[in-house]
């Protein structure tokens, strides 16, 4: 792994130098057509987006620490539908709709807990943690009730290390294949042994894409992160890798090559992290809404969830090596507070941007070369909806195909 990583890193540093030196976008880079504003406000488009993209996407549901032992479960509603994620008695992580197969009552009503099985609160049907229906009250009154056909409905559930992803589409491509080349790169972070340190969420008054866009570029750091991130990052050396299926990576060099975050000195490290991620600001994006800028001493993970046409939720968590929840490292408190300050900087204009998108003052979004991950994201959305299903006035043209690393 090391040799490959080092070669790659040399190549990446060369690319950073090229980015700093260039006088314009590289030869042949297309003009990016404006992103139509109606993609953020048009109810017809938002319904297509929800049904054809969100309901069929691999979405982060939670961390294995939330289901640390057999019988532990938590409920997630981020996809709209209520889904129970649990660890069964054999240790396997599974997901089911929180939907009793009798008349649809919920099996669990809290946010998290521990159970040996589920008994529906409405008429008492009982299920195992594997979802099998085992007991029905007054069974004699049902005619030909086939227990085998009344198991809980499973939701696809697959792991990226300790990160649990779910997908409501039973025919979805397996998560790791779907992530493709990024999955190999993520090996260096040993995601399977990272513990959950913290998780909190923020409600924001804008369409979810207003915020997603903000986390796909560093063009904004000189303005809104002037007194934070901009002090140590050189956005003009930023390099981008676009991957298939809408995923991507950006890597922004530190302004000074020897810079180390003073707020992490003495914290446990993931010793397999390569030079690039340890000494620069890499940020991975798993389509559609998972953002991860890892460091070797801890990784923030962000998800962006649509809660309405003009509202969304941001969930921000931290995972880290050798974390003991009973005795967290003393630097975590400040580190999380500093991170939150940066987040607030990112969120500050979101509701006003939404107002603009809904006003007559907005014409469309002209993106530059540095912002091409945003365009890549939108192209993928149209591919998932189906190119000829997208209303022509809301469509983005497919122009970045040649710039995707396959």
For ligand FES, the binding residues (CB under 6 A) are 100, 102-105, 120, 122-125
Q: Which does 123 bind (CB under 5 to 8 A by kind): Fe ion, ligand FES, none?
A: ligand FES
CA distances to 131, 151, 163 from 157, rounded to whole Å, are 14, 17, 10
| Interatomic CA distance for residues 257 and 320, integer angstroms | 24
CA 157/CA 201 separation, integer angstroms: 23
346 or 380: CB nearest Fe ion = 346
Instruction: Name the residue nearer to Fe ion (CB basis): 218 or 394.
Output: 218
252: β partners: 281
- Using an 8 Å Cβ cutoff, are 160 and 191 in contact? yes
Indicate the DSSP class of residue 29. P
Of 123 and 200, CB closest to ligand FES? 123
Question: CB-wise, 58 or 375, nearer to Fe ion?
Answer: 375
Least distance between ligand FES and beta carbon 134 (Å) = 13
| 120 versus 179: smaller Cβ distance to ligand FES | 120
Report in angstroms how near the CB of residue 168 gets to ligand FES at its nearest: 21
346's contact among Fe ion, ligand FES, none, with CB below 5 to 8 A by partner kind, is: Fe ion
Min dist. Cβ of residue 157 to ligand FES (A): 22
User: What's the gap between Cα 285 and its chain centre?
Assistant: 7
What counts of helices (H) and strands (E) characterise the chain? 10, 17
Least CB distance to ligand FES at residue 137 (A): 7
Residue 103 binds which of Fe ion, ligand FES, none (CB < 5-8 A, kind-dependent): ligand FES
The residue among 220 and 376 lying less far from Fe ion, judged by its C-beta, is 220
Of 81 and 343, which has the nearer Cβ to ligand FES?
Answer: 81
CB of 106 to ligand FES, least distance (A): 9
How are strands ordered across the β-sheet holding 156-160? Answer: 59-63, 163-167, 156-160
**Which does residue 357 touch among Fe ion, ligand FES, none (CB within 5 to 8 A, set by kind)?**
none
Find the shortest distance in angstroms from Cβ 98 to ligand FES: 11
Q: How far is the CB of 237 from Fe ion (least distance, A)?
A: 17
With a CB cutoff of 8 Å and minimum separation 6, the contacts of 194 are 161, 162, 270, 299, 319, 320, 321, 323
- Residues at the site binding Fe ion, with contacts judged by CB under 5 A: 346
Q: In what order do the strands lie in the sheet with 117-119?
A: 117-119, 126-128, 133-135
| CA–CA dist 279, 300 (Å, integer) | 16
Helix, strand, coil percentages (3-state) for the chain, rounded to 5, are: 35, 25, 40
Chosen from ligand FES, Fe ion, none, partner binding at 142 (C-beta under 5 to 8 Å by type)? none
């Amino acid at each position: 792994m090391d040799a490959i990583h080092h070669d790659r890193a040399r190549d990446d540093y060369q690319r950073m130098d090229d980015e700093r030196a260039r006088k314009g976008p590289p030869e042949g880079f297309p003009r990016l057509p404006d992103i139509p504003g109606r993609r953020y406000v048009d109810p017809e488009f938002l319904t297509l987006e929800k049904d054809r993209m969100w309901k069929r996407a691999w979405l982060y549901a939670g961390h294995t620490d939330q289901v640390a032992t057999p019988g532990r479960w938590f409920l997630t509603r981020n996809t709209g539908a209520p889904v129970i994620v649990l660890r069964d008695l054999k240790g396997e992580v599974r997901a089911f709709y929180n939907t009793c197969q009798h008349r649809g009552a919920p099996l669990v009503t809290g946010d998290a807990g521990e159970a040996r099985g589920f008994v529906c609160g409405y008429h008492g049907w009982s299920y195992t943690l594997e979802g099998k229906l085992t007991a029905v009250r007054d069974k004699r009154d049902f005619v030909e009730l086939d227990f085998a056909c009344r198991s809980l409905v499973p939701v696809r559930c697959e792991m990226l290390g300790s990160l649990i992803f779910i997908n409501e589409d039973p025919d979805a491509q397996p998560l790791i294949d779907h992530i493709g080349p990024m999955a190999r790169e993520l090996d260096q972070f040993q995601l399977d042994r990272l513990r959950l340190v913290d998780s909190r969420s923020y409600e924001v008054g804008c369409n979810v894409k207003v915020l997603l866009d903000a986390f796909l570029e560093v063009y904004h750091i000189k303005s809104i992160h002037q007194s934070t991130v901009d002090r140590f990052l050189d956005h003009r050396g930023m390099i981008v890798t676009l991957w298939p299926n809408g995923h991507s990576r950006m890597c922004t060099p530190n302004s000074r090559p020897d810079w180390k975050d003073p707020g992490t000195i003495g914290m446990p490290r993931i010793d397999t992290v390569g030079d690039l991620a340890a000494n620069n600001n890499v940020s991975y994006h798993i389509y559609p809404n998972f953002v991860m800028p890892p460091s070797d001493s801890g990784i923030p993970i962000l998800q962006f969830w649509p809660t309405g046409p003009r509202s969304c939720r941001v969930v921000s968590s931290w995972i880290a090596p050798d974390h003991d929840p009973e005795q967290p490292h003393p630097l975590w408190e400040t580190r999380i507070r500093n991170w939150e300050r940066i987040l607030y900087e990112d969120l500050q204009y979101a509701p006003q941007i939404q107002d603009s998108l809904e006003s007559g003052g907005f014409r469309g979004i002209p993106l530059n070369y540095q912002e091409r991950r945003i365009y890549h994201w939108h192209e993928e959305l149209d591919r998932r909806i189906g190119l000829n299903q997208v209303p022509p006035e809301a469509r983005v043209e497919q122009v970045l195909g040649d710039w995707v690393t396959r």
